[in-house]
Structure 1
């Protein structure tokens, strides 16, 4: 498939590498321009392009930018055909993104993104840590394979994204329509807890919307106040403990 990725941080770069390795034709862009991506694009097997070109002549666009930056993308989506699948991998963190009243009031993050860019969205790859995505994918059928939730309104688009999740080394789990994607946002049992498919289904069902934001903020406070860097496994353990 032809895939455009906007955002070249840990998640975007890892997806570019993994999808290019699976034979997809990948373009990658960031806010600084293609010259800043020369080394990365060469290393991962993608083509560095301006943001406007990342959404042109592609079948899938993956957005992996800070949540508060989404309004800046509205203009480049004006001419993107509706049948182009757009995937949101981001998460809202008020300490980083600033307060967004609509999301604070309960609008699911990816619904807010869809409203801003005026294009249907599939939410995926948001509920894994960068190191999980990079290092902990496994072959299909492995009993300990980590699962990733995928939410969206269009069954065909969601199916395509679930196949891409599979190719990146994880079991895709259908988490419902986009309005239900709050179940995979920060502060829920499905978020960055490295669960198998059956465990993830139970975690999605157990999500408590009324507690998610406070759990999210409490965890961020813990991580920021830790006296030493928090290890990957400790981060997963803390996420699990806080949401069960």
Structure 2
């Protein structure tokens, strides 16, 4: 299984740190050249590998850690995303509700990635918390996952556990996704909740 993170701002780097902690190789890419990401990637760890966007979309599991509307440009890179799992770690804070046609923000993104398995996740924690060790006082920091495709959730939940997090499935995007998204200039109930699951 291969992994990539598209977007290398605060959230992208936080996700990269999660991979680096477990020595799992992950490709990172953005609109900038791979060379411009090298210094930051090296500071995180040797398993964080800057590549081009074309290289990043070749991965099996792809995190979107980009400003909300930039998903449209990424989605255009290939006509069909069959065989790929997209994890939407974006937030649509500040995006007018009317621009989303009454849909959850993730449903708008899912529609752009034709053929992909699509999961909303890893977006409810501030970047600084997401970047820190998810092992907290003997428990595991929670990440919420939501998808209209039940089969898509299991491999993402397995990855979350591999990275040290405790995944909690919230159900379809309309219900669960709405609990972890921004709506206009407001945040949903579960955004910023730093929860820990104990065994």
Q: Which runs of 5+ in 2 are unaligned?
A: none
Cα distance in 2 for partners of 1:24, 1:156 equals: 23
1:227 counterpart residue number:
none
2:32 counterpart residue number:
32
Aligned counterpart in structure 2 of residue 150 of structure 1, from 145, 152, 173 = 145
Could you state the TM-score of these two structures normalised by the residue count of structure 1? 0.70
Please say if residues 173 and 197 of structure 1, whose CA atoms lie closer than 8 Å, have aligned partners that are also in contact: no
Cα distance in 2 for partners of 1:46, 1:166 equals: 19
Please say if residues 14 and 134 of structure 1, whose CA atoms lie closer than 8 Å, have aligned partners that are also in contact: yes
Greater per-residue strand proportion: 2
Cα distance in 2 for partners of 1:91, 1:39 equals: 26
Deviation at 1:162, TM superposition (A): 1.2
Q: Which runs of 5+ in 1 are unaligned?
A: 199-244
- Superposed, 1:203-222 pairs within 5 Å as none
2:109 counterpart residue number:
113
Please say if residues 26 and 47 of structure 1, whose CA atoms lie closer than 8 Å, have aligned partners that are also in contact: yes
Cα distance in 1 for partners of 2:193, 2:135 equals: 16
Q: Any idea what the Cα deviations from partners look like across 1:75-106, whole Å, max 9, x if unmatched?
A: 213243x2211100000022xxx536242x53
* Runs of 4+ that moved beyond 4 A: none
Cα distance in 2 for partners of 1:78, 1:91 equals: 24
2:190 counterpart residue number:
190
Bigger relative contact order (CA 8 A; separation at least 6): 2
Please say if residues 4 and 57 of structure 2, whose CA atoms lie closer than 8 Å, have aligned partners that are also in contact: yes
Q: Any idea what the Cα deviations from partners look like across 1:112-154, whole Å, max 9, x if unmatched?
A: 0011232331011011111111125116x935x4311101133
3-state SS of 1:148 partner: strand
Cα distance in 2 for partners of 1:174, 1:13 equals: 24
1:175 counterpart residue number:
170
Question: Alpha carbons of 1:33 and 1:100: their partners in 2 closer, same or farther (altered >3 Å)?
Answer: farther
Cα distance in 2 for partners of 1:165, 1:113 equals: 21
1:166 counterpart residue number:
161
Which protein is bigger by CA-based radius of gyration?
A: 1
Could you state the TM-score of these two structures normalised by the residue count of structure 2? 0.85
